[in-house]
Amino acid sequence: MVKKFLFFLLASTLLIGIYLSLFELVLYSFHSPFNSIMKEPLSHQATWTYLLKQHYINLFEIDIFTIHEKRHLLDVKRVFETTYKLWFLFFILSTAILLVFIIKIKSKIITLLRYIYILGLTLNSLLILLMFNFLVNFNFFHTLIFSKNSWTFPKNSTIIEWFPLHYFQEFIMIFLILSFFILFLIRIISSKLRKKRGFFV
């Protein structure tokens, strides 16, 4: 029982590291909805530079945002900074765990990979279920992270035009596709290691 819990804990740490890595990858590469024509592309790019590049400059010089929108963007920036710190922490932890398994306990790698695969499929399936009631879950998620009414805007606001609801849906879909691909690779690696008996000598 203790051993199973330990494997669950280690697999959860590695999976969080994988998910955070994928989140950062999508965040840095997907900045607007598919097939969208972006108004004010320079301001849009400058906003993403502000959000991701750790530059606390120029945002208040972008006149297309209201004060309410700028305050929310600052909140979002702080969330992204926290997420990046967590990614860095779990990257180090995941690297250390993998090194220990590769160097010291090779015979247990398949078990660890199996836990990651099963846990990942479970969480991905849950995320897909949440997508069916996306708006409710989207609102709930925002109420957990941001203060009341700090994230609601008129439909004609710039921040809604740049980041409509389907942008976040597409973001999650990309994340899911990439995570399923990683889980598929984990499954293949696990199968090959199981066949390669000499790996455990």
DSSP states of 49-81: HHHHS----SGGG-TTS-HHHHHHHHHHHHHHH
What pLDDT is recorded for position 87? 97
**Lookup result for tokens 């990309």:** 174
Question: Which tokens is 177 given?
Answer: 């596709």
What pLDDT is recorded for position 129? 94
What pLDDT is recorded for position 59? 57
Q: Which residues 6+ apart lie within 8 Å of 157 measured at CB? A: 66, 69
User: Could you tell me the mean pLDDT of each successive run of 10 residues in the chain, 201 residues long?
Assistant: 86 96 96 84 86 66 81 91 96 94 84 94 95 91 86 89 92 97 94 68 37
What pLDDT is recorded for position 54? 64
Q: Which residues 6+ apart lie within 8 Å of 120 measured at CB? A: 15, 18, 179, 182, 183, 186
What pLDDT is recorded for position 13? 95
What pLDDT is recorded for position 57? 54
| Strand runs labelled E in the chain | none
In whole angstroms, how large is the CA radius of gyration of the chain? 20
